[in-house]
Every structure is written in C-alpha cells, then in structure tokens.
Amino acid sequence: MERSGGSMDKSHHASPQIRSAIHQLIDRSFVSDEMRKRTHEYAFYHEKNDFPFGALAVLHHDMLQGESKSIDQIAAAVELIILSFDLLDDWQDQDNDRPPWMNDEGQALTIENGCLIMALSVLYRHLGKQSQSLQQLLQFISRSIQGQFSDLEDKPLNEDDYLRMIQQKSGSLTAVACLAGALCSGHLLPDDLDRIEHYAVAIGVNAQLQNDLDDVLHFDGKNDLLQRKHTLATMYLLDHPSENGKKLKRYYDHLLSKEQLLSEKASIEAWINASGVVFYTNAMKAMQQTRAEKYIDQLPIDAQNKQKIKKYLDQI
C-alpha cells in the first residue's frame, strides 16, 4: 500500500543489500519456477519506493550500535510484510490497476500469503530466541490487519476514530519496521521499546495522512473522492459548507453521477486546493510530529541519530 508509507525518505545506503536479501529469500523459499518468477516480478515493482520500511529497520539497528549479520534479512522480511499488505490492499480496494499483481487474480493472493509466511519465518529464525520480542512484532502485525479490516468497512468516522484506525493500520506497520531493527540490535531496553513504538506509529500516521491528502487533490489517476472513500481529507471536504462541499455530499449519497462530477473537474480541483484541506492535514501532521519528537528526544542515542529519525518525519 502506498498507503503504508509512500511519502517516506527514499534514499538509504542499505537498499542494494535489502534488494539482494529479498530476491535470495524468494529463490530459497519457493519450489515452483512460476511462483518464483512472479514473486520476483512483484518485488521488482515494489522496489520503486526504495525500501523505506527496510531502511527504518536498518537505521534502528545501527543507532543502537547493533552488529548483527542478520539485519539485512530482517529488513528484507519487513519489506516482504509491506509487499504482502500492499498486494492485499490493492486487491481489496480495486483502485490501483498499475501493479503487476493486479493482473494475476488467483495467483496474486497465493503469493501474498507466501510473502507473509516467508517474512514471519525470517523473523522467527533470527528473533525466535527473544520469544517476547517476536510476540510483540506479531501483535503489531495483527493490529495492522485489524486496522485494514476497519478501513475496508469504510464507515464515516469522526476525527478521533479515523486517527485510531490509521494508527492500527499504518502506524503498526511502521512500528514493526522500527522495532524489528531495534530488536535485532540486541541492545533494546524496555523503556526504549515504548518510546520507539510511540514515534513509529506517528511516522506511519503522518505518511497515511499525506497519502490521503494526495488522493483528493487531483482527479487524474487514483482519487479517494471518486471512490467515495472516507478519509480525514474526504471527510473535511464533505463537511465543507460551500456549494462544492454539498455537491460532493450528493455524489457520496449517489444523487450525482461520476460523469456529472467529472464534468466540473477543473473547478472542483481548484476549490479543493483552496478549501483549507491542505492546511488542515498539515496541522494534523504537525500535532503528530510534535508528539513523536518528544519520544525521539528521550532515546539514549546521539543527536545525529535522533536527527536521522526526525528526517523521516520532516520529509513526509
């Protein structure tokens, strides 16, 4: 899901190592030549985001002075979890026909299961001796699945309920990335785990809020308004007292057709950009960022590493 972090920092020196580890895992895990071929194809497409979640895992391992030789495997496992969630999300939403897995109806979901199981096997192999640590990661993965279920219900929510939902769905996946790397370091203290969890969730929430904003600003390509989705951005626009806000409400109530809405595309796009939704979303992100930085500053690491984490927040 680009929903799970498409706006994060996309430059990290570990990307070649993560890429290599992903494809090695695929080669070792699948017996079927065709399954390997398709999974490699999915992984190549997934690489366009340059592994921001895997990079977070490496960053947290390094900042805690970890020396584990398995960190690239852990980072690869994290990215395979993200790939499996992206794949499932696209099939459930049916709003993005660009990925190669959208052309493989039955096989895609089988590969999704394979990627998730492969990733969990890696986590168990390298973190299994820390049974409590592994359990914590599984809890976050479970929370994200529950958040995904709530998102699919697509019910109108208030601001607080929506934030809780994306904390589960997107924030939990970011927490998996950060904590997997930190746990791999072998130097994670219980208090640090709590701090990392708090700011990691905020990073994921901000990435989701930015994706939600991006998905209403233009009608070309993927657009949450045309899909009648309920996000913080669309809810803001639907509650807008202007005539265009009322028009969107009629569209959501199926009293206005997509063709009628698109006939005024240019004027509605201009209104959306001037409506205050950008300011509103940025204000919500700033609140999350302030909370996150409080926990980052409490970590017993040097200022340079703290700045690297804050860079993820700044670039969302």
- pLDDT for 4 equals 43
Average pLDDT, the chain: 90
Distance (Å, whole) CA 31 – CA 199: 40
- pLDDT for 8 equals 47
Q: Which two tokens stand for residue 77?
A: 């496992």
Domains of the chain: 2-240+275-314 (1.10.600.10)
Q: Do residues 84 and 44 touch, judged by C-beta distance below 8 A?
A: no
Q: What is the mean pLDDT of residues 256-267?
A: 95
Q: Do residues 115 and 127 touch, judged by C-beta distance below 8 A?
A: no
Q: What is the mean pLDDT of residues 95-115?
A: 87
Q: Which two tokens stand for residue 163?
A: 């934030």
Distance (Å, whole) CA 295 – CA 228: 36
Tens digit of pLDDT for each residue in 212-261? 999 999 998 789 999 999 999 999 999 999 999 999 999 999 999 999 99
- pLDDT for 14 equals 55
DSSP assignment of 227-262 equals: TT---HHHHHHHT--SHHHHHHHHHHTTSS-HHHHH
- pLDDT for 13 equals 47
Give the type of residue at 255: L
> 1 pLDDT band (50/70/90 cuts)?
very low
Q: Is the pLDDT of residue 97 over 50?
A: yes
- pLDDT for 112 equals 93
Q: Is the pLDDT of residue 31 over 80?
A: yes
Which segment of 103-117, 123-137, 289-303 scores lowest on mean pLDDT? 123-137
CA-only gyration radius of the chain, Å: 20
Characterize 84-114 residue by residue with b for buried, 16 or more Cβ atoms within 10 angstroms of its Cβ, and e for exposed: bbbbbbbbebeebeebebeebeeebeebbeb
Phi, psi of 228, rounded to the nearest 5 degrees: 55, 40
> 190 pLDDT band (50/70/90 cuts)?
confident
Q: Which residue has the higher pLDDT, 8 or 293?
A: 293
Beta strands per DSSP E along the chain: none
Distance (Å, whole) CA 141 – CA 147: 10
pTM equals: 0.90
Q: What is the mean pLDDT of residues 149-166?
A: 89
- What is the number of H-type helices and E-type strands within the chain? 15, 0
Q: Is the pLDDT of residue 176 over 50?
A: yes
- pLDDT for 7 equals 44
